[in-house]
């Protein structure tokens, strides 16, 4: 019932130079011919790769299949460089943008200490939590060498925000500056949002490949 008119599920695997499995792609093909011309489509159900080179090889496998007019894919990372892999970037169209991962901070100290940080610095966050109050408080974050120590403090805050906003920024999927521009947080100290952006920066956007 999940085929939507498509054929059986095919799987292609990729191995590295040592023969180790480092990626795979699963896809279906929907066959359609009109007036003797192929209008077949390929739907990428899942593509998982351990490196960018592997991802490129798996996408190339899909692109090189004969008689395919259209390729579709769902549940892909928002920062996947697929647009820049193809010759004509305008041929790629994004038809839907949605989330598949929801996060809600409960223990602010433990959560902030559990992740890594892109730079060193100090930031005071005043967090509001109207539902349960679990994350509520004012916290001093002191990051150095990729890790941070976090403690409750009475110092003046650099940023005021609620737990939902902090949870949104926690994995690096959205910047503090963007949230400030949207009115989701208050920048008490000038430039604090930019400093927070640098601290929480990540090389790749968060991505959840499995809906739950």
What are the pLDDT digits (tens) for 148-207? 999 999 999 999 999 999 999 999 999 999 999 999 999 999 999 999 999 999 999 998
Contact 98, 133 (CB under 8 A): no
Q: What is the mean pLDDT of residues 24-44?
A: 92
Torsion 170-174-178-184 (CA) sign: negative
**pLDDT value for 4:** 78
**pLDDT value for 36:** 84
Inform me whether the pLDDT recorded for 42 exceeds 90: yes
**pLDDT value for 104:** 95
| Band of residue 112 on the pLDDT scale cut at 50, 70, 90 | very high
Residue 171: other Cβ atoms inside 10 A: 16
Inform me whether the pLDDT recorded for 136 exceeds 90: yes
Residue 167: other Cβ atoms inside 10 A: 19
pTM of structure: 0.85
Question: Which pairs with CB-CB distance under 8 Å and at least 24 residues apart come from 142-146?
Answer: 143/117, 143/119, 143/199, 144/120, 145/120, 146/116, 146/117, 146/118
Phi, psi of 57, rounded to the nearest 5 degrees? -65, -40
pLDDT tens per residue, range 54-110: 999 999 999 999 999 999 998 899 999 999 999 999 999 999 988 888 899 999 999
**pLDDT value for 210:** 80
**pLDDT value for 159:** 98
Inform me whether the pLDDT recorded for 1 exceeds 80: no
Buried b (16+ CB within 10 A) or exposed e, 175-185: bbbebbeeebb
- Give the CA angle between residues 81, 207, 167 to the nearest 5°: 125
Terminal C-alpha separation, the chain: 19
**pLDDT value for 147:** 97
Cα(49)–Cα(62) distance, integer angstroms: 14
């Amino acid at each position: 019932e999940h085929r939507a008119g498509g054929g059986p599920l095919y799987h292609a695997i990729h191995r590295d130079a040592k023969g180790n499995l480092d990626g795979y792609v699963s896809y279906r093909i929907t066959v359609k011919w009109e007036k003797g011309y192929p209008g077949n489509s390929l739907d990428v159900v899942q593509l998982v790769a351990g490196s960018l080179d592997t991802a490129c090889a798996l996408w190339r496998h899909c692109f090189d299949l004969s008689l395919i007019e259209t390729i579709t894919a769902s549940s892909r990372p928002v920062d996947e460089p697929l647009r820049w892999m193809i010759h004509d970037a305008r041929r790629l169209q994004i038809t839907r943008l949605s989330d598949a991962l929801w996060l809600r901070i409960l223990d602010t100290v433990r959560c902030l200490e559990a992740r890594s940080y892109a730079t060193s610095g100090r930031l005071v966050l005043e967090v509001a939590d109207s539902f349960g109050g679990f994350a509520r408080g004012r916290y001093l974050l002191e990051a150095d060498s990729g890790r941070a120590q976090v403690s409750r403090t009475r110092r003046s805050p650099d940023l005021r925000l609620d737990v939902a906003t902090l949870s949104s920024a926690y994995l690096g999927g959205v910047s503090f500056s963007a949230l400030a521009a949207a009115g989701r947080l208050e920048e008490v100290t000038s430039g604090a949002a930019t400093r927070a952006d640098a601290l929480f920066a990540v090389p790749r956007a968060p991505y959840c490949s499995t809906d739950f």
